[in-house]
DNA sequence: GCCAACGTTGGC
DNA sequence: GCCAACGTTGGC
């Protein structure tokens, strides 16, 4: 069982939006970066856990925990010419983009903010990809050690 | 296969 | 709205 961090802009999809989704479950769609795609397609597996991270917003930070409930499968939004995430290079017989399904496990009582995480970048969280300079990955692995440390901050 | 130009991300 | 960082594209 592995751990991950999934970024989302709360204006487009927040942890509250997930909480209101049917069965509190949703496809994690719209990822359009190959490195992140590879993780969705090949490495993230059912029953893995992930942090739900809010980016590009007033208070960037980790909002809660989700569980992967379905392995990677093709991102349908890439096939829809009217969709914001349409990609003509992704074909139904050769999909370019993938999603996993996630289910809400719990929303933290408060956001564990980026500001709170940063001071630990030198030591406790030195392997945390999120805190690496210039990091832009929207899907990233989290070590068990880092996962457990972050949970102590809540 | 190199690399400049361009677009996007994401914190501030 | 700015801009650093970095991924992708496309000409060569």
Q: What pLDDT is stored for residue A23 in this prediction?
A: 97
Token pair, residue A129, equals 């990809």
Structure confidence at residue A68 (pLDDT): 98
A55 is near strand B: CB distance < 7 Å: yes
Compute CA A58 distance to the chain's CA centroid, rounded to the nearest angstrom. 18
Interatomic CA distance for residues A70 and A55, integer angstroms:
24
Report the percentage of chain A scoring pLDDT > 70. 100
Residues 92-121 of A with CB under 7 A from strand B: 114-115, 118
CA(A77)–C1'(B11) in Å? 28
Task: Name the stretches of chain A with pLDDT < 50.
Answer: none
pLDDT at A92: 86
Asked if A40 contacts A48 with a C-beta cutoff of 8 angstroms, the reply is no
Note the strand C nucleotides within 7 A of protein beta carbons.
4-9
Read off φ and ψ for residue A64, nearest 5 degrees: 170, -165
Query: What's this model's pTM, rounded to 2 decimal places?
Result: 0.94
Assess contact for A139 and A6: CB atoms under 8 A: yes
User: What does the pLDDT look like over A115-128, one tens digit per residue?
Assistant: 999 999 988 998 99
Phi/psi at A120 (nearest 5 deg)? Answer: -90, 0
> Residue A100 in contact with residue A74, Cβ under 8 Å?
no
C1' (C8) to CA (A126) span, angstroms: 29
∠ CA A140-A146-A151 to the nearest 5 degrees? Answer: 105
CB A30 under 7 Å to nucleic chain B? no
- Give the per-residue pLDDT at A82: 82
pLDDT at A94 (0 to 100): 87
pLDDT digits (tens, 9 = 90+) for A84-115: 888 888 888 889 999 999 999 999 999 999 99
Residues in chain A: 154
> All domains of chain A, ordered by start, with CATH?
3-139 (3.10.590.10)
Residue A60: helix, strand or coil by DSSP?
Answer: coil
d(CA A125, CA A135): 14
């Amino acid at each position: 069982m592995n751990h991950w961090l999934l970024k989302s802009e709360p204006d487009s999809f927040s942890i509250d939006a997930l909480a209101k989704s049917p069965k509190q479950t949703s496809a994690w769609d719209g990822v359009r970066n190959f490195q992140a795609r590879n993780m969705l397609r090949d490495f993230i597996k059912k029953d893995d856990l992930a942090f739900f991270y809010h980016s590009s917003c007033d208070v960037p930070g980790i909002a809660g925990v989700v569980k992967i409930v379905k392995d990677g499968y093709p991102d349908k939004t890439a096939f829809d010419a009217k969709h914001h995430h349409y990609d003509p290079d992704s074909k139904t017989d050769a999909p370019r983009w993938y999603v996993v399904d996630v289910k809400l496990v719990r929303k933290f009582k408060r956001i564990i903010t980026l500001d709170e995480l940063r001071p630990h970048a030198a030591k406790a969280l030195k392997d945390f990809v999120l805190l690496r300079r210039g990091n832009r990955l929207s899907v990233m692995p989290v070590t068990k050690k880092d996962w457990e440390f972050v949970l102590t901050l809540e």
